[in-house]
Structure 1
C-alpha cells in the first residue's frame, strides 16, 4: 500500500483529487492539509510515501515547502499546478512528478504507475558500488528496462518526467532524478535540464549570444548553460 497526503489550499481541489485517486485501491490517503505549515507537521508524524502538493499556496508555496524537507527522508513529491512555468524549477528541487490542473484520471494513472515502479526498485543498497551506477533503470508498463551507461546519449528533465535517450534515439522514462544521476554516473551536467554522455559528444560549438551547445555524434544538440560553461571548459581542457 502506498500512503499519500494531499496538500492544497483549495478545498474543492483537494476533494476532486481525492475522488480521482479513489479507484486506485493500492493508494491510501492519510489526510489533507490546506497549507504548508500543517503539511510539514503531518509529513513528520505520518511519514507518507507520496505528497500531492499544490505549488501556489499563500504564505509558503509548494516550492518553498519542498526546500524545508530533508532530502534524505522526504516523501515523493508530486506537484500540482495550473501553470507549467514551474516545471523545471520543480524537478530541480527533486520533485517526483509535475501534474497540471485540472488533474485528469489518465494523467494521474501515469503518475501512479511511476510511483508503483519506483517503490519496486529504489533500494540500491543491495547493489555493488552503490555510488557508481553502470546502467539506468527505466520503466514501462509492468516492466523495468536497464540502459547501459555507455548507451546513454543524454538525459533530459521535462514537464512530464525524466527521460533517458539512448544511442538509437529511443527515449525511456526513469524515476531517478538528475542530481542522483549526476552523482552516481559519469554523465556531465551541462544545463539545469540536461546531462550528457561526454564520450558521445562530437563537438562543442559557440553561439553568437556567448552561449554554447554540445552536438552529439548522432547530431542531437544539447544546450550548455552560461553558468556551467566555464567549469565544463576547464574539465574538457578548453582554454
Structure 2
C-alpha cells in the first residue's frame, strides 16, 4: 500500500489539528509535520521528503501560492489546497493542484481528494518505470536526432537560442544562474528574466555549457559562479543559495562533486 508523507500548512493551529485528526482515518497518510507559514513550511521541506501538502492559501506575509514557486520541476509534491475562500479555485488548478477543499472539510470530500492523490502517485510510479526502460532503448536514437532538431547553439561566451517563431536570443553564459527542465523544454534563468528553449538537459550539459555549469539534480544545472552558500540537509543533500536568494536543492547523487568544486 502506498503511504504518503504529508505536510499540513495553515496559519491557524486549530485548522491544522482538525485536519490532522481527520487524516488519522486514512492509512495512506503519514503526517510528518506541520507549519503555520510558508517560511516554516520551506524549513520542513528542506529536512524531509514530502509526497503531499495540504495547503492553506490566505496566510500572513506569504500566500500558499508563494510556496508553490519554491518547488522545482520533478520534485514537486502533490498539493491539495484547503481554504475558506472559493474564489481561488481557478488559480489553484492553474498551478496544477490535485484538489481544492473548502473549510470546514467534510470527511467524504477529503476521502475523494486522497483517493485522487493515491491514484496519481500509482500512475507516476508506473510511468517512471516505463520511462526508464524506454530511455535505455531509445537513448542512442535520441542522441542522433537531437543534433537535427536543435534550436540552440553556442559561441565562446554566449548561448544562442534560435526559434523560427521568435527573434534570436543571445544570452551570455556569465548571466545564467541556473537551467532546469520543464517537460520537453529548458528554462534558462538569468537575474532579469527566464528564457525558454527546446533542448535536452543531457545535451546541454555534455556539449554546450562551459565548465562552470554543473548538474545538481536530475532536472537542474547551476552556474557555480552564482552559488554563494550551501546549506546542509539530511541524507547528504544540500540547499544551494544563489546570488538572488533563489534556493535550489542539491540531490545526494551530485552533492559530493559540487562540494569538491565549491571548496576549490
Give TM class, smaller chain. Answer: 0.5 to 0.7
Q: Distance in 1 between matches of 2:97 and 2:81?
A: 7
Distance change in 2, residues 1:94/1:71 (3 Å): farther
2:56 counterpart of 1:54: yes
C-alpha distance in 2 between matches for 1:81 and 1:36? 15
* Pairing of 1:123-134 with structure 2 (within 5 A): 123=125, 124-125=127-128, 126-127=130-131
Residue 87 of structure 1, CA deviation: 0.7
CA contact (8 A) 2:52 2:77 kept: yes
Please identify runs of 4+ aligned residues in structure 1 that moved more than 6 A: none
Q: Displacement, 1:72?
A: 2.1
- Counterparts in 2 of 1:98 and 1:2: CA distance versus 1, 3 Å: same
Matched residue, 1:86: 88
Q: Do the aligned residues in 1 keep the contact of 2:98 with 2:116 (CA within 8 Å)?
A: no
> Does structure 2 conserve the Cα–Cα contact (< 8 Å) formed by 1:35 and 1:57?
yes
- For residue 129 of structure 1, report the CA deviation from its aligned partner: 7.3
CA contact (8 A) 2:54 2:80 kept: yes
Shift of 1:122: 0.8
**Cα deviations by residue, 1:103-129 (Å, 9 ceiling, x for unpaired):** 110100001111111121113240587
Decide which of 91, 95, 98 is 2:97's aligned counterpart: 95
Residue 30 (str. 1) matches residue 32 (str. 2): yes
> In structure 2, what is the equivalent of residue 67 of structure 1?
69
Q: Quick check: 1:53–1:78 contact (8 Å CA) kept in 2?
A: yes
Paired residue secondary structure (2:25): coil
SS at match of 1:122: helix
Matches within 5 A, 1:90-239: 90-123=92-125, 124-125=127-128, 126-127=130-131
Pick the structure with greater CA Rg. 2
Unaligned runs of 5+ in 1: 131-178, 184-239
Q: What is the CA distance between 1:71 and its match in structure 2?
A: 2.8
| Residues 40-93 of structure 1: CA deviation (Å, up to 9, x unaligned) | 121122111100010010001001221222132111111111111111111111
Q: Deviations over 1:147-180 (max 9, x none)?
A: xxxxxxxxxxxxxxxxxxxxxxxxxxxxxxxx98
Count of aligned pairs between the two proteins: 134
* Runs (5+) with no aligned partner, structure 2: 136-181, 185-264
Q: Which structure shows the bigger proportion of residues in helix conformation?
A: 2
How far apart are the structure 2 equivalents of 1:70 and 1:49? Answer: 13
Aligned partner of residue 108 in structure 2, secondary structure: helix
